[in-house]
Amino acid sequence: MMVFKNADIYTMDHKNPHIADGYIRTENGVITAVGKMKDYQKKQDETERDMKGRILMPGMMTTHSHFYAQFVRGIMADLKPVTNWPQTLTRLWWRLDEKLMPEQNYYSAMLGMIEGVKAGTTLYFDHQASPGAIDGSLDLLEKAAREVGVRAALAYEVTDRGGSEGAKAGIHENVRFIKKMKQNTDDTVRGMFGLHAIYSVGEETLEACAKEGAAIDAGFHIHIAEGYEDVAECYRRYDESVVSRLLRAGILNDHSIAAHGVFVTEEEMELLRDCGVTVAYNAQSNTNSGVGIVPVVPMLNKGVHVALGGDGYSADMFRELSVACMLQRLKSGRPCEFTTEQTYQVAFDNPGRLAEKIFGRKTGVLKEGAYADFIAVDYDAPTPICADNFLGHMLAAFSGKVAMTVINGKVVCENGKCTFVDEEKIFAECRKQAEILWKSIGQE
Ligand SMILES: [Zn+2]
């Protein structure tokens, strides 16, 4: 048992949003009590951590990440300029992921996770791609997750771009890993069933994924309508929309993720709402790729479960949320767009709801029975702060101020240093592995 005491707690629980001088008790990875210090009594064999008045809040979550993409930072390889979305895939991502070897999959994941926990990100729904090293790739990500101490749902993206053998290997990796994780007694790592996108997955492979996934009650994780080419190809091949085709295949349900949705129609929004799928909104990545702005506010107004994602672009979900909010205001031309309630839904409620489906318990909220996934923030508010304006302070100032990250009741990062891993040693190896990878794609 561990207690985090003398904390200024913002719970994200509408019934009990703020405890000015409080404590959180954790046991076996779960919150067993959240209360006021005046009611606190130390129990026997209990370890105490004095938070000295720091803010405690739920950890940040990403419902769409790519650990494999981390070595693209500062890439020095001979890459032709990219002028549209399909070229971004063929000239950068698909050249890069095809060369990833097991060591690079592992170290790239370690980099993504270490930077994530330092930034206060506690939960990751990851989508892996390494066509040259498919078998066992999710085990390497699992190893990294356990070493750093993060909560993660891992999927391998099935695609037909490497022919039917590659697709079969991807399906096998998903099924094998999901089954393995179902037998695991701890609930920090889970498997999901990944598919790349409808334009890179043929009909036969799509049907095979749906069948294999349904047999093990898997949640799926797929990109939808990230570029307009996805929409056009779906109409050309099936004469129907992306969402409609994926629904008919059985890929979209209440424990699945559809990432992006830049080009979804009003009709598709209603289908997304009705099936209960989580739509991962990746504002910085969409901006960087120049694909467009996801119609998040219309989706939220219709009741679609939109949740924050990073798409491998950023591990700092505070910064991501700030851009997410600003883009919606830019798109609509209205400074009041993307309300406080919608910010809460996208950052906490909807990712937490998905976590409950995949891992079994709530997260994104500090209350009894939820996972003990939370962060301490070093923030001496220069203007009044309370439950009603907390998210305003958070959006403006919390990026870079995470003092402690707790996942499953364990302090995995404190004062900018990871607890369980030697990050200097790992980053030195990351630099080596990134260089090998860059050379391998530059020599083509
Ligand atoms: Zn993605």
Q: How far apart are the first and last CA of the chain?
A: 55
Which is nearest to 228 in space by CA: 241, 245, 216?
Answer: 241
Q: What is the pLDDT along the chain (444 residues), one digit of tens a residue?
A: 999 999 999 999 999 999 999 999 999 999 999 999 999 999 999 999 999 999 999 999 999 999 999 999 988 877 788 888 888 888 889 989 999 999 999 999 999 999 999 999 999 999 999 999 999 999 999 999 999 999 999 999 999 998 999 999 999 999 999 999 999 888 999 999 999 999 999 999 999 999 999 999 999 999 999 999 999 999 999 999 999 999 999 999 999 999 999 999 999 999 999 999 999 999 999 999 999 999 999 999 999 999 999 999 988 999 999 999 999 999 999 999 999 999 999 999 999 999 999 999 999 999 999 999 999 999 999 999 999 999 999 999 999 999 999 999 999 999 999 999 999 999 999 999 999 999 998 844
What CA–CA distances, in Å, run from 403 to 124, 160, 296, 433?
A: 20, 44, 31, 29
Q: How far is CA 156 from the centre of its chain?
A: 14
What is the whole-number distance in angstroms between the Cα of residue 259 and the centre of ligand 1? 7
CA–CA distance, 189 with 180 (Å, rounded to integer): 10
Question: 2-58+366-417 and 60-359 share one CATH topology?
Answer: no
| pLDDT tens column, 165-215 | 999 999 999 999 999 999 988 899 999 999 999 999 999 999 999 999 999
* 414-419 long-range Cβ contacts below 8 angstroms, 24+ apart: 416/118, 418/114, 418/117, 418/118, 418/148, 419/149
Which is nearest to 285 in space by CA: 253, 305, 311, 248?
Answer: 311
For residue 215, how many other CB atoms are within 10 A of its CB?
Answer: 9
> What are the structure tokens assigned to 210, written together?
């749906």
- How do 2-10 and 30-36 pair as beta strands? unpaired
What is the whole-number distance in angstroms between the Cα of residue 153 and the centre of ligand 1? 14
What is the whole-number distance in angstroms between the Cα of residue 65 and the centre of ligand 1? 7
**Eight-class DSSP state of 133:** S
What is the whole-number distance in angstroms between the Cα of residue 126 and the centre of ligand 1? 9
The predicted pLDDT at position 340 comes to: 94
What is the whole-number distance in angstroms between the Cα of residue 349 and the centre of ligand 1? 21
Q: Are 361 and 370 in contact (CB under 8 A)?
A: yes
For residue 95, how many other CB atoms are within 10 A of its CB?
Answer: 16
Q: Give the architecture-level CATH label for domain 60-359.
A: Alpha-Beta Barrel (3.20)
E strand map for 137-263 = 151-158, 189-191, 193-195, 220-224, 257-260
* 3-state secondary structure at position 130: coil
What is the whole-number distance in angstroms between the Cα of residue 340 and the centre of ligand 1? 26
Question: CATH 2.30.40.10: does it fit domain 2-58+366-417?
Answer: yes
Name the burial class of residue 334, with classes exposed (0-12), middle (13-18) and buried (19+) by CB atoms within 10 angstroms of its CB: exposed
The predicted pLDDT at position 442 comes to: 80
What is the whole-number distance in angstroms between the Cα of residue 113 and the centre of ligand 1? 16
What is the whole-number distance in angstroms between the Cα of residue 278 and the centre of ligand 1? 14
> What are the structure tokens assigned to 75, written together?
């890439």
What is the whole-number distance in angstroms between the Cα of residue 282 and the centre of ligand 1? 8
What is the whole-number distance in angstroms between the Cα of residue 230 and the centre of ligand 1? 13
HSE (side-chain half, CA atoms, 13 Å) at 242: 29
CA–CA distance, 169 with 173 (Å, rounded to integer): 6
What is the whole-number distance in angstroms between the Cα of residue 375 and the centre of ligand 1? 26
- How do 220-224 and 151-158 pair as beta strands? unpaired
What CA–CA distances, in Å, run from 170 to 132, 137, 139, 412?
A: 11, 10, 13, 31
What is the whole-number distance in angstroms between the Cα of residue 192 and the centre of ligand 1? 15
What is the whole-number distance in angstroms between the Cα of residue 223 and the centre of ligand 1? 6
Domain boundaries, the chain: 2-58+366-417, 60-359
What is the whole-number distance in angstroms between the Cα of residue 256 and the centre of ligand 1? 14
CA–CA distance, 107 with 139 (Å, rounded to integer): 13
The predicted pLDDT at position 444 comes to: 45
What is the whole-number distance in angstroms between the Cα of residue 311 and the centre of ligand 1? 5
What is the whole-number distance in angstroms between the Cα of residue 258 and the centre of ligand 1? 10
Amino acid, single-letter form, for residue 46: E
What is the whole-number distance in angstroms between the Cα of residue 406 and the centre of ligand 1? 26
What is the whole-number distance in angstroms between the Cα of residue 364 and the centre of ligand 1? 22
CA–CA distance, 292 with 41 (Å, rounded to integer): 53
> What are the structure tokens assigned to 435, written together?
């260089």
What is the whole-number distance in angstroms between the Cα of residue 384 and the centre of ligand 1? 38
What is the whole-number distance in angstroms between the Cα of residue 174 and the centre of ligand 1? 17
What is the whole-number distance in angstroms between the Cα of residue 356 and the centre of ligand 1? 22
Q: Tokens 């996942």 label which residue? A: 407
What is the whole-number distance in angstroms between the Cα of residue 47 and the centre of ligand 1? 40
**Bridge partners for 151 per DSSP:** 123
The predicted pLDDT at position 243 comes to: 98
